[in-house]
Amino acid sequence: MQKWKQKAIVQKAISYLPFGHKVNYLFQKYVTKGVYLTDTYFYDRLEHAKVHLDGYRKFSGNLVPASTLEIGTGWYPTVPICFFLSGADKIYSVDISFLTSKERIQSTLLKFEESKQAGQLEKYIPVIPERFAVINLLLKNYTNLTLDEILQQLHITYLIEDARNLTLPDNSIDLVHSNNTFEHIYPEILAPILKEFKRVVKKDGGVLSHAIDMSDHFAHFDTSINIYHFLRFTDNEWKWIDNSIQPQSRLRFYDYKKMYAELGIPISEETCRAGNITALQNVPLAAKYATYPLQETAVSHCHFISNMRSATNS
């Protein structure tokens, strides 16, 4: 049996269990080996932080956002810590469950320390020396600190709540961002989340910055399939394969653009990865994906930056 099928079956079963996300973490830790904070993942997230900051500076006119909100931070809060080091004062992360831990945050901080010592960190983000001194002190006294104390010193607040109904006030956040999270949110849920982001982001100088990976995530694990493999299935077929642990919406580039337009959220700058049309042509596409030009369906990654001064009242 192909690896992707094995993983799909296991995650489908886990999705029905109590504390499914915790069980999935153990499955990925001991079976797929996919939860460790590798250098590749760490520097990928530093690059995301750099792009978010560059976009914010370009469209807000300010150097660093005072307040940030990330959706889907996951196990390792790399990007929020980037914003702490750069000078942000209020850093929020919203998710449906609390996925990090004291141990995982320590792993993240150690990666920052290694990157700083290697002379790499400042290539991605501006680092305030006093802020990095906080990280040094945290690591020195780590065993004596509680998780809450660590998060407080990093200016990070976790919001474990429905992102469609945030507890944050209107017009309160400078930068709302995400890193390969939207593809895990079904459109009927993502649209009201974006509407909520539009509510909480500042209308004068606020920015949305979202990176989306539209590839089949099973292909990251199983090289016998390509990144468009999941586009062969009808919606009904995909319901039997997909799971609530790591769902994949299969939305394409044009679906996201349509959603933004309907919500009155501007796309001030878009960056897309063209993808591989030859690989796409090797997949027998389900009817819903065959109605657009191949080059549009083939787009595998995109990054939308929104200058909220241009937002409409839709």
Q: Please state whether the predicted TM-score (pTM) of the whole model is above 0.75.
A: yes
For the record, the structure tokens of 163 come out as 């992102």
Q: What percent of the chain has pLDDT over 70?
A: 93
Q: Looking at domain 37-214+251-310, does it have CATH number 3.40.190.10?
A: no
Higher pLDDT among residues 220 and 9, named by residue: 220
| Mean local confidence (pLDDT), 39-54 | 97
| Mean local confidence (pLDDT), 25-30 | 54
pLDDT band at 30 (very low <50, low <70, confident <90, very high): very low
| Mean local confidence (pLDDT), 37-54 | 96
- Please say if the pLDDT value at position 24 is more than 80: no
Phi, psi of 229 (to 5 degrees): -55, -40
Model pLDDT, residue 219 = 94
**Residue of 264, 250, 281, 133 whose CA lies nearest to 208:** 264
User: What is the overall mean pLDDT for the chain?
Assistant: 93
For the record, the structure tokens of 132 come out as 């990095």
| Mean local confidence (pLDDT), 50-59 | 97
194: left (phi over 0), alpha (psi -120 to 50) or beta: alpha
Residue range 250-274, pLDDT digits in tens: 999 999 999 999 999 999 999 999 9
| Mean local confidence (pLDDT), 64-88 | 96
Per DSSP, what are the bridge partners of residue 251? none
